[in-house]
Chain A
């Protein structure tokens, strides 16, 4: 267990260290990095002319110069980022792939394409017909330098030549915009065009933008959404200047820092989560190791009590005895640490490889930091030392006279237990009393079993909740086959396509334009969703509490997802004032929705349309048998997502996560087995006196076996209950540490998981009975009689 603790500590610690290094390398403001922007200013429903962007940047630079900001503004750049489609043909035919296109001017400062040596090819796009394809998909789609791809963005289709492959800091986790999970490989494409290429694709004037990127010298501190403090003073001042400059340039836009930019924030929280997991995970394993060492050494001391007494009688000093008993755990610890330190780097590389496969971004530089190794080994050895110190101290304090006269074996039974069990058959009563005879040891065992099951069960419980949330809503409540994204007011061609193909359609509005200050005055953003119906539409919404909103009320009725309600501390029936697309609006919360990972406020579409001035942002289609999305629909859209593809992507991600989870789960199960086995062996071993007496007095193996079985059952049932409680507590803690404003994980108690845990522990406990019976059969009664007479 010491080995596993050190192994896990180094694996997790090294993994977190290298993962952090990967982000630093990618986001770095140097010639090798992509220079992640500090502020993103965007408005997807509007396009800004080059003059408007210049006017804003000039206003900002002027304001900056006269401000008290200590850092300088490195760049203010306009950029177009648009959804679209790639028309990809392979041996199975033509496929319309949901895509995102970036127009990045040559010589851009912020948010460049990251092209690490050995993991990317070619160069950035410069000419109007050149494109760099994100390296996440080149292999799956079999795209190579020099190939021509056909792409669109709600306008005409255009051909581009691939001149490079690379990565982008906003697309580490290769998920389509607005989604938290990556699509299946090849079902989502990101391409990096030049500004001229983007102008050619969209048919707009060169320099037209829907996004402005700001890069500030250094990295100004920004607010971390998963903390209650506001760390964003520095970026707050920048944003204040931006707001003023936007006003001056008469631009309407959303302003986000790194903490508010979802793809960046999700990965940061993932990294933080990994770092946070390292310590508790290692501590948990170390605690189990400590408990096991304490119990085992105590047993050793107990079994060697007579030898210790003889040594003490012969004049051996207490300190010598103590030193002797301290050497054993230190030797065990040293060996475990050495083996763990040797195996740790391969565990770390395994996890980094797994992560690399999961996100598709190379983790180029890998090293095991000495500080991680030293801190893991150091803390483990401290735990080992202290767990050995108590039994060693007890050994040195044994009274030789009491041991040799047998007085140390004498004790008075518990009157309470006698009263509680006196009505039972005596054998049963003895079983219960024997099991509970050493409450401290039993408690320690249960704590160790609990911690082991915390690893095993909490992950199972959280996974069940996660699965429910991620797949449940999409699978059970939604019936659409394809979601077609459109430019504002551009739904007509899609509706026509649906009518021509006998497909049902439903328009929805989905925009990340809501925000509200939480109790700590931190601005929390959420998505606004407008649906025609919450019960019978293509996207039904499960309600946790309340009733679906009614339309056309003076104060618009809305419902909000469970996560938002929890984080904001809101209740059904309350009226709240929120910021909807820049305007303070009062809404009435009439229901809480469930099965939603992202923070979402649901409106009836006509209400939301009135507030945002947008009729629809996408159209859901239910396709009749034999009808599939085609290029005509692709050209009319800004991207198409198919529900099955989305589900497959989530399921494949869950499958991958399950692999990590399963490793931890089985580790927990292994610990449970070891701890239970250790305790059961000790229980049987230290009852030799009792069992031998009963054997001499004629108790059959069967009746003694039944007693042992009952004891095992009792310990198993208590251990199982403790395990379920620990697992639930762990699941709540795990979900809390995973949960953030962006990503809310509810904990659902799945009875089958609880039963599984209970039966697992009982089974492990009962499985130890044959060992006890075997020991009974092997017992040499003549020798035991000698022992009993000494």
Chain B
């Protein structure tokens, strides 16, 4: 991302949610975006995931499937969706599993939509996050932590280039948060997936290889940690 901007016109004037943000993320990194409320971290995540279109600056991306950097589509809903489908995995704070589908089916659905249906891999991923015994249960029948682990398995089921998460442990207690993060780190390392997570929980820094702090739409610090990826 180079000099990325996301400005909003409001009746009170222009709000600069992102104001010239520049950084590079490399393959295999586990980045945590930290910042107070209203700092712009979620806006940055939305731009990263191509859910939102920046109003200025450049955002290029190197897919697992291709060589070289490509500009990430913006202002085109279908192309942005296609970009997400091919490259991005996403984990929500409230898990957002489909209640009518079983744990396994939640993963199969995403594979199917991406044209990569592979039940064996889906089961393997559930084993990876420690939920092999829950494959046929519905999300409503398992705990919040287990649901988030299913969401993680779902998000990496199609082998995304980049995995994103917004406050993915925000709805969990500390112990469960740690279990979820451990499952996530393990899955990312095993699948060689680059990840970026937004949080305001300093306790999660231990799971990152790099921490970017953001405030008022600008990066205020960008540091590698000692938790190197393997």
Q: Which A positions have Cβ atoms within 8 angstroms of B?
A: 406, 409-414, 417-418, 422, 425-427, 429-430, 433-434, 437, 689-690, 693-701, 703, 777, 781-782, 785, 788-789
Contacts and interface: CB of A to CB of B under 8 A. Distances in A.
Given A413-B101, A693-B98, A696-B51, A427 B112 contact: yes
A427 B109 contact: yes
B81 interface: yes
7 contacts: A430-B109, A689-B96, A698-B81, A698-B86, A698-B114, A785-B51, A785-B166
B84 interface: yes
Given A695-B81, A698-B84, A777-B77, A413 B109 contact: no
A641 to B, nearest CB: 68
Contact of B112 (A411, A425, A437, A693): A425
A781 B100 CA distance: 22
B55 interface: no
A693 B92 contact: yes
Nearest to B108: A426
Contacts of B101: 413, 426, 429-430, 433
B126 to A, nearest CB: 15
Interface in B139-177: 139-141, 154-155, 158, 166-167
- Looking at chain A's contact residues, is the secondary structure mostly helix, strand, loop, or mixed? helix
B165 to A, nearest CB: 11
A782 B96 contact: no
The 6 closest A-B pairs by CB, nearest first: A698-B85, A412-B140, A433-B100, A698-B84, A413-B100, A426-B109
Interface in B93-125: 93-94, 96, 98-102, 105, 108-110, 112-114, 117
A412 B98 CA distance: 10
B46 interface: yes
A412 B81 contact: no
Best-buried of B78, B81, B155, B166 by chain A (most CB within 10 Å): B81
A693 B139 CA distance: 15
A694 B97 CA distance: 10
A690 B110 CA distance: 12
Contacts of B100: 413-414, 417, 430, 433-434, 437
Given A426-B101, A788-B94, A700 B112 contact: no
B208 interface: no
Contacts of B112: 425-427
B52 to A, nearest CB: 5
Contacts of A406: 94
Given A698-B114, A785-B42, 16 more contacts: A410-B139, A413-B99, A413-B102, A418-B136, A418-B138, A427-B109, A427-B113, A694-B109, A694-B113, A698-B82, A698-B84, A698-B110, A700-B78, A781-B52, A782-B52, A788-B94
B197 interface: no
Nearest to B113: A699
A412 B105 CA distance: 14
Contacts of B99: 409-413
B88 interface: yes
Contact of B90 (A412, A417, A437, A696): A696
A413 B109 CA distance: 16
Contacts of A417: 100
Contacts of A426: 101, 105, 108-109, 112, 117
Contacts of B86: 698
A37 B93 CA distance: 86
Contacts, number: 107
Interface string B41-56: 0100010010110000
Nearest to B157: A697
Contact of B51 (A413, A700, A782): A782
A411 B140 CA distance: 5
A412 B138 contact: yes
Best-buried of B85, B93, B113, B141 by chain A (most CB within 10 Å): B113
Contacts of B96: 689, 693, 788
Contacts of B140: 410-413
- Interface size class on chain B is 35 or more
Contacts of B81: 695, 698-701
Contact of B166 (A698, A699, A789): A789
B188 to A, nearest CB: 17
Nearest to A781: B51
A64 to B, nearest CB: 81
B84 A697 contact: yes
Contacts of B92: 693, 696, 785, 788-789
Contacts of B105: 418, 422, 426, 429-430
A698 B86 CA distance: 8
A509 B114 CA distance: 81
Interface string B187-202: 0000000000000000
B102 to A, nearest CB: 6
A202 to B, nearest CB: 85
B85 A699 contact: yes
Nearest to A427: B112
A417 B98 CA distance: 14
A425 B139 CA distance: 19
Best-buried of B100, B109, B167 by chain A (most CB within 10 Å): B100
Nearest to B53: A782
Nearest to A690: B98
Contacts of A429: 101, 105
Contacts of A414: 100
B102 A700 contact: no
Nearest to A789: B93
Interface string B28-52: 0000000000000010001001011
Contacts of B154: 697
Contact of B110 (A697, A788, A789): A697
Contacts of A703: 113
Nearest to A436: B100
Best-buried of A410, A427, A696, A777 by chain B (most CB within 10 Å): A696
A700 B90 contact: no
B102 A418 contact: yes
A784 to B, nearest CB: 9
A410 B144 CA distance: 11
Contacts of B166: 785, 789
Contacts of B117: 426
A155 B219 CA distance: 117
A690 B109 CA distance: 12
A190 B158 CA distance: 87
Contacts of B93: 788-789
Contact of A789 (B51, B82, B109, B167): B167
A280 to B, nearest CB: 38
Contacts of A413: 99-102, 138, 140
Best-buried of A406, A700, A785 by chain B (most CB within 10 Å): A785
B110 to A, nearest CB: 6
A418 B140 CA distance: 14
Given A411-B140, A782-B46, A789-B93, A696 B78 contact: no
A693 B113 CA distance: 13
B61 to A, nearest CB: 14
A417 B138 CA distance: 12
Contacts of A430: 98, 100-101, 105, 109
Contacts of A701: 77-78, 81
A437 B100 CA distance: 8
Contacts of A425: 112
Best-buried of A694, A696, A698 by chain B (most CB within 10 Å): A698
Nearest to A692: B96
Interface in B61-86: 77-78, 81-82, 84-86
Nearest to A432: B100
A181 to B, nearest CB: 57
A410 B98 CA distance: 10
A406 B170 CA distance: 14
Best-buried of A425, A426, A433, A690 by chain B (most CB within 10 Å): A426
Nearest to A786: B42
B84 A696 contact: yes
A429 B105 CA distance: 9
